[in-house]
Amino acid sequence: MKLKQYQVDAFTDKVFGGNPAAVVPLSSWPDDSLLQAIAEENNLSETAFFVSSEKGYKLRWFTPVKEVDLCGHATLATAHVIFEILGYTKQVITFETRSGELFVEKKGRQLEMNFPARPPKPCDLSEILVQGLGQRPIEVLAADDYLAIFDSEATVRAIKPDHALLAQLDLRGVIVSAPGADADFVSRFFAPKYGVPEDPVTGSAHCELAPYWANRLGKNALSAKQVSKRGGNIACEVKADRVFLSGVAVTFMEAELAPSKNLTIKVRS
């Protein structure tokens, strides 16, 4: 069996920026072990797989080590492939996922993702978190991840995490954030227990970040910048229990996957 694969840089308008994701269209679901093996082989923070459905598409995301419930940049990358390469003509794509129905609307070059909000709540400060970041945050909250708030963008940029320590924490990962110099807020994201030491640009983290900063800054429309080495920009808007995340994406590569003839591929019924 041969499969098409696209590698897309998300939340950027130039290749070699933003967050790269692999996107694999499927006609039906093979065994999960193959999906995980492809994601491990790609060794990107996320590989997305999708199949057609009555509502639109069923979408799943895999890191190099496991399947995840929600991924923003790989959803943006998948929508980019469906709109720009596969010629989807409707304005809105409906994705059926482990996090419920997600929607991506094409607005010119921008793709706007409609995701569930994950407002973080204050929590106790773990000394493992402090040691893992090498800095003591001024505030710590938790939702799907720990959210550590610092006083300045410079502090966030300077953090050199101990990934072995952060991997000991019980949640998915750690977001660090602060007010931005030329954006409402900046962030970085570490998820070593998921095989992602530092994610370049993390859409799902902004489901937690946007509600926090909207409440703190008193406004629902926010500009965000993830200040990883590659970096990326995300426009955020909070509406009730949903977060709208907008960005652009560019295709870096088109490829053909040809698993070994010795590999038995089982298709799930």
Please indicate, yes or no, whether residues 186 and 103 belong to a single structural domain of this protein: no
Residues assigned a catalytic role? 46
CATH assignment of the domain containing 227: 3.10.310.10
pLDDT, residue 2, reads 80
CA distance 130 to 112: 35
Residue holding tokens 């970096």? 231
Please indicate, yes or no, whether residues 52 and 91 belong to a single structural domain of this protein: yes
**233: which 2 tokens?**
């920009």
Please indicate, yes or no, whether residues 87 and 179 belong to a single structural domain of this protein: no
The residues near 232 (Cβ < 8 Å, ≥ 6 apart) are 10, 11, 12, 17, 18, 19, 73, 200, 201, 225, 226, 247
How many independent structural domains does the chain possess?
A: 2
**226: which 2 tokens?**
């993830």
Residue 263 inside a domain? The answer is no
Residue 264 inside a domain? The answer is no
CA distance 100 to 95: 8
Residue 55 inside a domain? The answer is yes
Rounded to two decimals, the pTM is 0.88
Residue 125 inside a domain? The answer is yes
Residue span of the structural domain in which 218 resides? 121-239
The residues near 255 (Cβ < 8 Å, ≥ 6 apart) are 4, 5, 6, 7
CA distance 43 to 22: 10
Please indicate, yes or no, whether residues 7 and 40 belong to a single structural domain of this protein: yes
Residue 104 inside a domain? The answer is yes
Residue 267 inside a domain? The answer is no
Conformation bin of residue 117: beta by default, left when phi > 0, alpha when psi is -120 to 50: beta
**80 to each of 12, 16, 220, 250, how far by Cα in Å?**
12, 16, 26, 8
Please indicate, yes or no, whether residues 253 and 159 belong to a single structural domain of this protein: no
Please indicate, yes or no, whether residues 13 and 90 belong to a single structural domain of this protein: yes
- Residues paired with 25 in a beta bridge: 50
pLDDT tens for the 269 residues of the chain, in order: 689 999 999 999 999 999 999 999 999 999 999 999 999 999 999 999 999 999 999 999 999 999 999 999 999 999 999 999 999 999 999 999 999 999 999 999 999 999 999 999 999 999 999 999 999 999 999 999 999 999 999 999 999 999 999 999 999 999 999 999 999 999 999 999 999 999 999 999 999 999 999 999 999 999 999 999 999 999 999 999 999 999 999 999 999 997 654 444 444 54
Please indicate, yes or no, whether residues 233 and 194 belong to a single structural domain of this protein: yes
Residue 266 inside a domain? The answer is no
- Residues paired with 103 in a beta bridge: 94, 114
Residue 195 inside a domain? The answer is yes
Conformation bin of residue 240: beta by default, left when phi > 0, alpha when psi is -120 to 50: left
Among 215, 256, 255, 264, residue whose Cα is nearest residue 238: 215
